[in-house]
Structure 1
Amino acid sequence: MKLQKLLKDDTKVFEKSTFKFVEGYKIYLTESKESGIKQMDNVIKYFEFIESKSIALYFQKRLNELID
């Protein structure tokens, strides 16, 4: 039920997911590259799961820029 309510508000979903991605980037820079990448990758997988392919691709490009 909570997930359904959250998904109804696309802006909240995007904001929270963007925050998680940035949080993963911070972890990547300050604590653990592996953990940071995992968190950022989870955000990408989430957008793929809800079939927001263009957003998933956007975050994938950002992640690729970091690890290349």
Structure 2
Amino acid sequence: MAEKAPETKPGFNPQAFAQEAKAELGKVTWPSRQQLISESVAVMLMVTLSAFLVYGIDGLFKIIQKAVFG
């Protein structure tokens, strides 16, 4: 009968986690400064436009509500 290998107790190893995190961050392709700025501006523009669209639709529903319910 073959002996089983001793089972290791699962748990959190901070040192191993830090080493693995550092290795994974080394694999990341980071954006250039220009790419980061242009994409950030695009996101802010889309959020602003979306907010104005929601505000406009809300105003339209308020007008409809007043017309229907007085």
Relative contact order, higher structure (CA 8 A, sep 6+): 1
Structure number with bigger Rg: 2
Greater helix share, structure number: 1
Report the TM-score range of the alignment, normalised by the length of the smaller protein: 0.3 to 0.5
